[in-house]
């Protein structure tokens, strides 16, 4: 599970301490401001935190104060973590992504770029289809476990199932599966630095995440979702290199991260702003090409009930 849900909840909880100290007309801005601060600090992306605070809740800023509050809190929180030296991703992973993008634009010939465009679009379609499966399976698993009655039974069943899968991987000497436990930051860094990964790494991370979510364990979904997308991008990069001779593994990792996040959350603007802040403007054309089809494919589903389709 990711760490950002705890940060969001703590931020929202702390904001309630200020409700009695601010004018009533500003009180509705406190929770989005806390959400923006928490996410901007966790991901080292303050603008993404601001956009997410509106996009995830499907609310438009109705006043200057409603827009200014999350901007101020997000950049203030980001400044604190920057001074403390806390990073969402290691510098080596970020520099690897940036250098790969710069190298792509220095190719000279356009034929590789045209081929890459088609591969990026295909990766976006794959990300959207996978997100549709992920969110749909999660919904039905939660419904099934809810029929067990008390939440403690769902926790027990989900916990035992996850423990058995993780435990038996060691028993059968299949320790590679253990790499895909955890928050997901390790998988993202592996994918961005080009480390060798199983071709089905995205499926391994998705299965473990589904079991954890469906069992009722509460935690952040953003980090695992980004990790699944990164693993999917690594698989796409390996296939494109082997079958088509196009070496753009890191580009596909970043594009797939953005696409899978946008598809699972119905927050495409947040996804694009996130990769913009982390990797620079050069990745945006490819991120858009992957995010657009992924978002359109997965519109009927979302991890958040506040999404447009999720409320119907």
Average pLDDT of 35-62?
Answer: 85
Query: CA separation (Å) from 151 to 5, 178, 295?
Result: 19, 27, 32
pTM, rounded to two decimals: 0.85
Which neighbouring-strand residues pair with 220? Answer: 2
Model pLDDT, residue 134: 93
- Where do the domains of the chain lie, and which CATH numbers do they carry? 4-84 (no CATH), 91-297 (1.10.3080.10)
Q: What's the mean pLDDT when you consider all of the chain?
A: 81
Q: What is the pLDDT of residues 152-182, one digit of tens each?
A: 777 777 778 878 877 777 666 666 677 778 8
Model pLDDT, residue 100: 61
Give the H or E element holding residue 174: none
Rounded Cα distance between 108 and 65, Å, is: 47
**Which is more confidently placed, 290 or 91?**
290
Model pLDDT, residue 97: 58
Residue keyed to tokens 């295909």:
122
How is residue 42 written in tokens? 């966790």
Model pLDDT, residue 128: 96
Average pLDDT of 84-92?
Answer: 74
Determine phi and psi for 220, rounding to 5 degrees.
Answer: -75, 140
Rounded Cα distance between 286 and 272, Å, is: 10
Q: Which of 81-85, 137-141, 156-160, 207-211 has the lowest mean pLDDT?
A: 156-160
Which neighbouring-strand residues pair with 2? Answer: 220
Rounded Cα distance between 312 and 309, Å, is: 6
Instruction: Say whether pLDDT at 310 is over 50.
Output: no
Model pLDDT, residue 109: 45
**Which is more confidently placed, 39 or 63?**
39
């Amino acid at each position: 599970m990711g760490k950002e849900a705890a940060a969001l909840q703590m931020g929202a909880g702390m904001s309630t301490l200020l409700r009695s100290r601010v004018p009533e007309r500003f009180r509705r801005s406190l929770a989005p401001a806390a959400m923006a601060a928490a996410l901007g600090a966790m991901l080292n992306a303050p603008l993404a935190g601001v956009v997410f605070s509106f996009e995830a809740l499907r609310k438009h800023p109705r006043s200057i104060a409603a827009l200014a509050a999350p901007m101020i809190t997000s950049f203030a929180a980001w400044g604190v973590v920057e001074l403390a030296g806390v990073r969402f991703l290691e510098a080596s992973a970020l520099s690897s992504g940036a250098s790969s993008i710069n190298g792509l634009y220095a190719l000279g010939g356009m034929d590789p770029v045209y081929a890459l465009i088609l591969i990026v679009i295909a990766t976006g379609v794959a990300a959207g289809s996978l997100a549709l499966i992920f969110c749909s399976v999660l919904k039905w698993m939660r419904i099934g476990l809810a029929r067990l009655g008390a939440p403690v039974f769902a926790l027990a069943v989900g916990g035992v199932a996850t423990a058995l899968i993780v435990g038996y991987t060691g028993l059968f000497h299949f320790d590679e599966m253990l790499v895909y436990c955890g928050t997901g930051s390790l998988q993202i860094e592996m994918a961005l630095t080009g480390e060798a990964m199983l071709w089905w790494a995205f499926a391994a991370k998705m299965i473990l995440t589904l079991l954890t979510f469906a069992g009722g364990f509460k935690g952040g979904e953003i980090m695992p979702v980004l990790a699944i997308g990164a693993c999917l991008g690594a698989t796409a990069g390996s296939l494109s290199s082997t079958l088509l001779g196009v070496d753009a593994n890191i580009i596909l990792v970043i594009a797939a991260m953005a696409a899978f996040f946008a598809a699972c959350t119905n927050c495409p603007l947040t996804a694009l702003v996130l990769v913009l802040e982390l990797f620079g403007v050069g990745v945006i054309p490819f991120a858009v090409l992957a995010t657009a089809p992924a978002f359109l494919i997965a519109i009927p589903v979302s991890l958040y009930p506040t999404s447009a389709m999720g409320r119907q």
